[in-house]
Structure formats: structure tokens, C-alpha cells
Amino acid sequence: MKFRKVKPLNLNVFRNKLDEIDEELVKLLVKRLNVSKEIAVYKSQQDIAVRDKGREKEIISNRIKDIEDIDISNEVEEVLQSILASSRSIQTKTIEKINSIDSNLKDSGKREEE
């Protein structure tokens, strides 16, 4: 791998570029996690498990297959694994909330019958 020379710029120029990218990433992650919540509702209704290891492997391999730099590929894979773990976590929390609401509704219905 060749490293290209970097024009002598102020470090803040690079940091500003990273800040802009980070802002975009955060927006996309929030969007992704909101979709994960919607998926959790569906999975709860259909009684589907939160984790699908096959799907996770598919996602990772499809996203990194065209990355030529092995170091970057490895790092992206780690980031994707973390993102998938966060998606599972938000789905689990969402399903727990749904189950808690369902349980409370059933309990209140039993009290009304008494």
C-alpha cells in the first residue's frame, strides 16, 4: 500500500472533515436504530427471534466485500458488528417494553373482571 504525501495543512482541517462525517454517521445511526425499533415491533407480533446470525453474516460480508484495504476492511467489520449489537439491543428493549405493556393490559383486564 502506498501512502500519499499530505499537503501541510492545519490539523484542524482534517478534524473538521471528520466532524462532518461523524455528524452524518450519527444521523444515519439514529435512522437505522429507529428502523430497528420498527423491526422489533414486527418480530414481537410474529414471534420471531431478535438475532438472526445468518442475516448478520450476510450483512457484514456484503458490506466489506469491495473494500480493498484489508486493515480498513477489518475495522469496518468491527464497526458493523457493533452496529448490529446495538440494533439487537434496541430491539430487545423495544420487545421488553411491548411485553410489559401487554402484561399490564392483561392484568388490568383481569382486575376489571373481578
67-101 pLDDT, tens per residue?
A: 999 999 999 999 999 999 999 999 999 999 999 98
39-73 pLDDT, tens per residue?
A: 999 999 999 999 999 999 999 999 999 999 999 99
Total structural domains in the chain?
Answer: 1
Per the domain annotation, does 4 fall within a domain?
Answer: no
Q: Determine whether 80 is exposed, middle or buried from the number of CB atoms within 10 Å of its CB (0-12, 13-18, 19+).
A: middle
Q: Which domain holds residue 98?
A: 11-113
Per the domain annotation, does 2 fall within a domain?
Answer: no
pTM over 0.85: no
Per the domain annotation, does 45 fall within a domain?
Answer: yes
Domain CATH for 34: 1.20.59.10
Identity of the amino acid at 9: L
